[in-house]
Amino acid sequence: MFGQIFWLEFLVIILIFDPATFAEQNHEDHDLETERTANATNTLNLLLNSHDKRLRPKFGGRPVTVYVDLYIVDIGDISVTNMDYRMTMYFRQTWEDPRLRFNGTSQIVAQGDLLDKIWIPDTYFNSEKRSNFHEITKKNYVLIFWPNGTVFFSIRISVTGVCRMKLRKYPMDSQKCELNIVSYSYSEADAIYTWKRGHEHSIEQAPDISLPQMDLVKIQSSETTDVYSTGNYSRLSLTFTFKRRLSLFITETYIPSIIIVALSWISFWINYKAAPARVALCITTVLTMITLTAAVQNSLPRVTYTKYSDWILMLCLVYVFGALVEFAIINFHDSLETRKKDKLNRKLRNVDVEKGVCDGEGGDLKTKYLQRQLSSLREKIKSFGEQDINVQRIDSRSRILFPLTFLMINLMLWIYFVIDSAED
Ligand SMILES: *[C@@H]1O[C@H](CO)[C@@H](O)[C@H](O)[C@H]1NC(C)=O
Ligand SMILES: *[C@@H]1O[C@H](CO)[C@@H](O)[C@H](O)[C@H]1NC(C)=O
Ligand SMILES: *[C@@H]1O[C@H](CO)[C@@H](O)[C@H](O)[C@H]1NC(C)=O
Ligand SMILES: *[C@@H]1O[C@H](CO)[C@@H](O)[C@H](O)[C@H]1NC(C)=O
């Protein structure tokens, strides 16, 4: 049974791939391929032999129009400290070179050392720090020649572009980074750059571009002319708008700062007589807050203006410092009272002794006077017990006042941030 099926399958395979017809087809294909290769080689040799790569197409005549379009493969590494970003793209330029017209029906896709043999626009990226051209596994470029003289040149490059960031609204900022495409030697009289499919459609991007800290909101493109003393130059520009994700700041900085501030409030519940415990707690929170602020500052460039994050961190620092100051006030108050109390007690004892002496002598007037003084002193001392309650009242008020005002100022700051950052 199994053997029969096997032979049947074998027969079917032989019928489908008849070696005789297969070979014939192969032979025909081979001939055609050889002829086409020979024709293309001939054409390229003919084109390149007479080609002067030093001179632009239509030399001395109309300017050559370079049509540009690009595909963004990836955007990443937006660095706040270096104020730059990195982008990898397929950069495509199309232009017409009448010298490269040939007789034929289809385009020629060429590779190899052609880059050095034909005229190619000297395009460069203004506002770029460094760029590199990829050469693995071969130089990543392609040149396509059409019979009507149209040349298509696509290249894969990575560009590190400068992005002048304004950080006043950090961490609720959005950044605009611009990349300009210009010709180095050709003014408008010689070369004009335009987007190949209009402003909107000339830029494509990979669907899965995602940045760790920012969202790519939009990419805008425009065409302008720059006027220099050497002439007018055609320029294409590309503007990326990035919006920072707030969540990172919230989880890494804001929540820890709030916890530290709340920690400093715990000291209001600790008895003011336990000075070492309260001082240790307050000073630890102040130091931690300073360390946290320094960590945030180090991750950002040094700028002279105040950022949103500075306001928040400054507020937290003021509050933890406030808790320390509150304790200092209580402690000072307390020691002052103790000293006064000691003084009164001493006086009381003196008066008491004096009264005892007077009682023995029987001086009626003086005894009465001392009696009065004694009772007024006793009253004063009793009122000191109430002073102690006063000191504790500062603590119990702070327990409500500190969190309440902190919450309110925070709320006000965030409302201001939201309104202010929505302005642009
Ligand atoms: C090759 O070129 C010749 C003449 O130049 C032409 O007749 C022929 O059709 C071409 N072959 C192919 C496959 O295009
Ligand atoms: C293309 O064909 C035309 C006419 O058939 C001929 O005059 C011309 O020399 C050819 N050009 C090339 C580059 O072969
Ligand atoms: C040349 O041919 C290509 C492909 O057929 C076409 O896309 C292009 O518009 C042509 N260019 C001109 C100037 O006719
Ligand atoms: C450059 O452009 C300005 C105005 O846009 C024009 O007045 C000037 O003549 C142009 N210069 C050249 C060299 O074309």
pLDDT at 22: 61
Expressed in angstroms and rounded, the spacing between residue 46 Cα and the centre of ligand 3 is 21
Please, are residues 392 and 370 in contact by the beta-carbon 8 Å criterion?
Answer: no
Q: Tell me the pLDDT band of 223, cut-offs 50, 70 and 90.
A: very high
Q: Per residue in 73-111, pLDDT tens? A: 999 889 999 999 999 999 999 999 999 999 888 899 988
Ligand 1: which residue has its CA nearest to atom 6?
A: 39
Q: DSSP letter string over 58-123? A: TTTSSPEEEEEEEEEEEEEEEETTTTEEEEEEEEEEEEE-GGG--S-SS-EEE-SGGGGTS----E
**Tokens standing for residue 372:** 């009065």
- Which ligand has the nearest atom to the CA of 47? 2
Q: Tell me the pLDDT band of 340, cut-offs 50, 70 and 90.
A: confident
In short, whether 36's Cβ falls inside 6 Å of ligand 1 is yes
* CA–centroid distance for 313 within its chain: 19
In whole angstroms, give the CA distance from residue 131 to residue 380: 84
Atom of ligand 4 nearest to the CA of 232: 1
Strand, coil or helix: 156: strand
Helices assigned H by DSSP within 97-208: 198-201
Expressed in angstroms and rounded, the spacing between residue 117 Cα and the centre of ligand 2 is 22
In whole angstroms, give the CA distance from residue 352 to residue 126: 95
Q: Per residue in 130-152, pLDDT tens? A: 988 998 888 899 999 999 999 99
Q: Which amino acid is at 83?
A: M
Pocket test for ligand 4, best of 225, 227, 228, 233 (most atoms within 8 A of CB): 227
In short, whether 37's Cβ falls inside 6 Å of ligand 1 is no
Residues with CB under 6 A from ligand 2: 46, 102-103
In short, whether 224's Cβ falls inside 6 Å of ligand 4 is no
Per-residue pLDDT, averaged over 240-261, amounts to 94
Q: DSSP letter string over 377-389? A: HHHHHHHHHHHHH
Say which residue the tokens 């309260």 belong to: 278
Strands 128-133, 191-195: pairing is unpaired
Secondary-structure breakdown of the chain: helix, strand, coil percentages, each rounded to the nearest 5: 50, 25, 25
